[in-house]
Amino acid sequence: MSEIEQSKRDFITFMVRAGVLTFGDFVTKSGRKTPYFVNTGNYGTGAQAAKLGETYARCIHERIGKVDALFGPAYKGIPLATATAVALHTLYGEDVGYCFNRKEAKDHGEGGNMVGCRLKDGDCVAITEDVVTAGTSVRETLPLLQKAADITIAGLIVSVDRMEKGVHGKTAIEELYEDFGIRTYPLVTVREVLAALHNTEIDGRIVIDNAMKARMEAYMKEYCSEN
Strand 201-202 versus strand 152-161 pairing type: unpaired
Between CA 48 and CA 59 the distance in angstroms is 17
Query: Please, what is the angle between helix 46-59 and helix 3-17, to 10°?
Result: 150
Query: Which residues belong to the annotated binding site for orotate?
Result: 133, 162
Query: Which residues belong to the annotated binding site for 5-phospho-alpha-D-ribose 1-diphosphate?
Result: 29, 75-76, 102-103, 106, 108, 129-137
128 closest CA partner among 177, 36, 64: 64
How many alpha carbons fall within 13 Å on the CB side of residue 144?
A: 23
Query: Which residues belong to the annotated binding site?
Result: 29, 75-76, 102-103, 106, 108, 129-137, 162
140 closest CA partner among 98, 83, 180: 180
**Active site (catalytic) residues:** 106, 108
220 closest CA partner among 81, 32, 63: 32
